[in-house]
Amino acid sequence: MNDNLHQLRCFGCGSQIVASDSKPDFRCSICGDLFEVEYPGWQARKGPDRPNAGALKWLWRERRMSTEALDQSGVWRFRELLPILNNFGNAVTLREGNTPLYHLPRAARALGIDQLYAKHQGMNPTGSFKDTGMTTALSVARERGFEWVACASTGNTSAAMAAYAARAGLRSLVLIPDGKIAWGKLAQAMDYGAVTCQVKTDFDGCVRVLTQVVKAAHIYLLNSVNPYRLEGQKTPAFELAEAFDWNVPDHVIVPGGNLANSAALEKGFREMVELGLVARMPRISVIQAAGANPLARSFVENAGTAMTPVEAHTRATAIRIGNPASWRKAARAIQTTGGWCLDVTEAEIAIAKAEIGAEGLGCEPASAVTLAGLRKLRAQGSIASGETVVLILTGHSLKDADYTIDFHRGELLRDDEKIGHEDEINKLRRNAVSVEPTMDAVLAALRGVVG
């Protein structure tokens, strides 16, 4: 495939535009909805003209041995399915992607599932899944000659954007909700040289302000309303298919915040089916925090056909979002694949995070909603024991060390939040103990643990 042709199609009204006609806020001028990147050339190449699936699979695997930066990227090694640049030489990469797929034997046993895996997107260069989408969208910004890029963020997008902008020699502007993001993420934005504004509002307020800024100034918007972000974020679907020898798992479970990632993964799987690379779609389920659950509510109230924004509150600050931009895309991903949308409580998130930690992996709180959601799905009989399930872990444990320490010190949750979970929490807590500098003191501490 060498047709570097793409266009943008409105998700709401279906109107098609050429990429250069998109507005600074990436909203459709007819209906206000978001766009999706599409590749008309692929439609024309059905039947015998289809790309040779076997040759592509071989090529993508071979590239992992290459010393070229673009080949070493777990995003750009699939560049035949990413014809969004006129010149791949403009790609900005930190060797993102190619993230590990881990078996979770203990959680699998506890849940009575044979095949439970975690795809750890926190193992990306800046520690979150955002890198896969940032490499694509920021490369487009560079190719189009922008000098400034910007995002509103709960922390991970800003860390990723700041890093990729720095690599490309672009300037970056970050709007983050004042006091409501994890310190590790703020530190990254500063370290990578972003102009960082801590805005006295929440994430949804930051989005409102930034939308006005990008209309007034020549700045390229890198929030996930930018459809090129989703192009990069679809590639973990390719990696998953490859890891399962071009089969797909039965079920993929994704955390839901601004709701672009679930839609991106669905797009990745859908394109593989269309191109004959895999035979079927997995179910895609989205899990939100109970305090930031507008989509989960909408599935209860109206099967995901209309969403009412909420005022968001959760300690999983990455997904503290009340008015998610991509909710329609995510709802379609869930509906068309036969997945579910649920919410989980603060205690359920904290417990699931500690369980993932106890598997030797760790993740940030927002990622742990996936395991908490799986437990609920299993309890309600939605997932059979023989199914292959993949949890998408979106961020690295060290992004939000305060949360982890507070949990193990017993300072994270209020008593009313712990009700019914006290035993599980006590079993998982591993507080650090303060000891005198003697062998006896250390041995006493050890006896305290092993009984």
Compute, in degrees rounded to 10, the torsion defined by CA atoms 325, 329, 331, 336. -170
Residue keyed to tokens 């920021």: 138
* Cα separation values, 206 from 163, 217, 288, 329, 363, Å: 20, 16, 20, 22, 25
Segment near ligand F0G (CB under 6 A); pick from 8-16, 30-38, 147-155, 377-385? 147-155
Residue among 327, 326, 325, 295 nearest 310 (CA): 295
The dihedral of CA 154, 155, 156, 158: what is its sign?
A: positive
What are 171's two structure tokens?
Answer: 């300037």
Residue 63 vs 251, nearer CB to ligand F0G: 251
| Contact mark string toward ligand F0G, 349..388, x via CB under 6 A | ---------------x-xx---------------------
Q: Is 259 in the site for ligand F0G (CB under 6 A)?
A: yes
Considering beta carbons, is residue 50 or 270 the nearer one to ligand F0G?
Answer: 270
Positions in 296-355 near ligand F0G (CB under 6 A): 318-319
Is position 232 an interface residue for ligand F0G (rule: CB under 6 A)? no
* 157 lies in the site for ligand F0G, by CB under 6 A: yes
Cα–Cα nearest to 161, from 206, 200, 192, 140: 192
Touching ligand F0G, residues 395-414 (CB under 6 A): 395
Instruction: Say if residue 434 is exposed, middle or buried (CB neighbours under 10 Å; 0-12, 13-18, 19+).
Output: exposed
Under a CB-based contact definition with an 8 Å cutoff, are residues 160 and 130 in contact?
yes
Under rule CB under 6 A, residue 207 binds ligand F0G = no
| C-alpha distance from residue 372 to each of 43, 321, 365 (Å) | 39, 19, 11
CB under 6 A: which stretch of 135-143, 254-262, 414-422, 424-432 binds ligand F0G? 254-262
**Residues that contact ligand F0G, how many (by CB under 6 A):** 22
Distance CA 426, CA 100 (A): 30
Min dist. Cβ of residue 443 to ligand F0G (A):
40
Q: How far is the CB of 436 from ligand F0G (least distance, A)?
A: 40
- Is the CB of 304 or the CB of 395 nearer to ligand F0G? 395
Closest CA to 99 of 130, 68, 137: 130
- Cα distances (Å, whole numbers) of residue 316 to 255, 257, 364, 391, 395: 11, 10, 8, 17, 11
Nearer to ligand F0G, 275 or 312 (CB): 312
* Residue 128 lies near ligand F0G (rule: CB under 6 A): yes
Q: Which of 97, 155, 282, 373 binds ligand F0G (CB under 6 A)?
A: 155
Give whichever of 196 and 367 is closer to ligand F0G, judged by the CB atom: 367
Contact residues toward ligand F0G (CB under 6 A) are 128, 130, 153-157, 224, 255-261, 318-319, 364, 366-367, 394-395
